[in-house]
Chain A
Amino acid sequence: MAGAVKAKESATKATGRAKKKDGFVAEFRRNKVMFAMLIPVTVYFLLNNYLPMAGIYLAFTKFNFVGGIFGSPFVGMENFKFLFSSGKLLKLTANTLSYNVMFILVDHVLQITFAIILSRLGSRIFTKFTQSVMFLPHFVSFVILNVIVYNIFNYEVGFLNGILTSLGQQPFDAYNTPGAWRFILLALHVWKGVGYGTVVYLATITGISTELYEAADIDGANVFQQIRYITLPLLVPTFIILLLMSLGRIMRGQFDLFYQTVGNVGTLYDVTDILDTFVYRSLRLEFDVGMGTAAGLYQSVFGFIVIMSANAAIKKYQKDYALF
């Protein structure tokens, strides 16, 4: 397999070098069909994303309905002020980052583990059933999930304290214990998304040629060795791509997860407040398009820097794995 990768690489290099000198016209003539095949995607992103992107300008204006997007008065960095003057920006950025890093790490470790296990268990009925089960939480919105969460953690009548007190333990006051929420939120996040993510890895594993395993078998490699030396390395490209995809959004949080569960519990904010919930709360009464866009732009620029650095680093290490 390593050989195959190498071969592919050198082929890439060769073709790349040969075409380096050609301009756009030559490339267009050569690959007309491929250009044509990109038309739908181009139209989609142009209309759905790039044209509306002009609205970023709103971050620098005081929006009014007479002027619209481009006629409203320009106010420079005024709309960013509420982020910086809050004195909480650093804390929020740190919270958002740490939650996201935690989510990304735990997600991928669990998803890869589950995908590998599911792909190698013998009982088809078992794997089919459990896979479906792991997938179902995806359909439960956080609003509904919170009903359950509140029923579990409510101090007086909650499920958890019911069990604790019947075991003779002290009841647990979750909604006044900030530290607990790092874990509860992580657990909820995993609950909701693990099946979804596992599917991606499962599909990748399915794509691995069976010959590789057969060869390993003949060489006498046991299950763990096969996983270690065949499956895991082949999952690396997918992992890196998914990682890079999430890095660009590292400043954006899972708004619904945080807002629906503990969005109103001020006593927990030091631990549970992320940028998205903060911005939502700040602007709930303002309804100011400019300030909202400004906050979004801060998140974008932050994400942009992170992703550009990460992509550059990965490109240096292994060109094929880079996102672009």
Chain B
Amino acid sequence: MTAPMKIKRTKSQIAFSIIGYTVITLVSIYCLFPLVLIVSGSFTQNDVLMRQGYSLWPRVFSTAAYRQLFRYPEGIINAYGTTIMCTVVGTALGLFIITMTGYVLQRPDFKYRSKVSFMIYFTTIFGGGMVPWFIMLSKYLHFQNTYMARILPLLMSPFLIILMRTFISSTVPHEIIESAKIDSAGDFAIYWRIVLPVITPGIATVGLFLALGYWNDWYLTSLFITKKNMYSLQFYLYDMLNSVRFAQEMGIPQLGTEQVPTESIKMAMVVIVTGPIIFLYPFVQRYFIAGITVGSVKG
């Protein structure tokens, strides 16, 4: 009886693995293909890039784009600094509020959970538009040229709150909370000591999304920041590109035999922004994979 079962399971296991590896490999190639063009483009001599287009390997290798971007490294390092700072502070603060809110909103004994969820969700459908929002932040909250402007608006989103709510309610059985209550644990204590430790995959996910939001931010800087030393990384790079354009429009002569690499510089910007994330992501990944291995090793 056990023998055929075993074979059947192994067969299905093999079938699954074959399908799985194939599918994921194909998807990865699909995702990677444009990125390879971008990286290769960033290392291609600009004239060649413009004349002959993109290729999987640089036709004529050149680091001009990176040299241009790192011409004044202190600026770009500073932009990395402010962006890391905003990302860390914003993600930590955002995670705290989002998990706390998600926790309250999934407590069945909290009477207004559905109404509050609705009020939060409502903001994704209706909005007053950019002008009143800008007035609020600049005129009443005085966010112009403060890090508040770069941190607070991205602190949370209805999507992340509701996601966290769903995550907690599907991970933490209600009975655990009930029994903790019977042991007369406070609502905050339950959240802090019982709920938080078991929702690490959820925290990793939401934290990752928050961090990406801060890391990629361009818009908030463009609206509220005029001081160069407070620019976000994305905006700093955009601004550099702009100043190159400006020099060209104004007919500022360029010395040297090399022209400003207008096209490859855009690609180098992507590499510079994305690079550090390659190091961050595996760190977050642990939280997904750790839980899985427990299951799959035994299964």
Contact = CB atoms under 8 A, between A and B. Distances in A.
A213 B281 contact: no
B35 A37 contact: no
Interface string B108-132: 1111101111111101111111011
Given A191-B31, A220-B5, A38 B104 contact: yes
A148 interface: yes
A214 B299 CA distance: 6
Given A11-B178, A248-B124, A135 B132 contact: no
A145 B50 CA distance: 16
Contact of A323 (B121, B205, B270): B121
Interface string B256-268: 0000000100110
Contacts of A196: 209
Interface residues of A, number: 109
A4 interface: yes
Given A118-B24, A139-B273, A205-B292, A307 B125 contact: yes
B167 A148 contact: no
Interface string A119-148: 111101011111111111111110011011
A-B pairs, top 5 by smallest CB distance, nearest first, are A55-B128, A55-B132, A222-B12, A206-B291, A324-B118
Interface stretch (B68-76, B157-165, B242-250): B157-165
A229 interface: no
User: What size tier do the contact residues of chain B reach?
Assistant: 35 or more
Nearest to A217: B299
18 contacts: A37-B104, A40-B101, A55-B131, A56-B128, A58-B128, A58-B132, A120-B296, A121-B24, A124-B293, A130-B28, A131-B285, A139-B270, A207-B170, A210-B299, A213-B299, A216-B299, A303-B125, A304-B125
Contacts of A45: 119-120, 123
Interface stretch (B14-22, B59-67, B78-86): B14-22
B276 to A, nearest CB: 10
B281 to A, nearest CB: 5
A151 B21 contact: no
Interface string A146-159: 01100100100111
Residue among A55, A118, A131, A206 facing the most chain B CB atoms (10 A cut-off):
A206
Interface string B92-118: 000001001101100111111011111
B53 A157 contact: yes
B229 interface: no
A56 B128 CA distance: 5
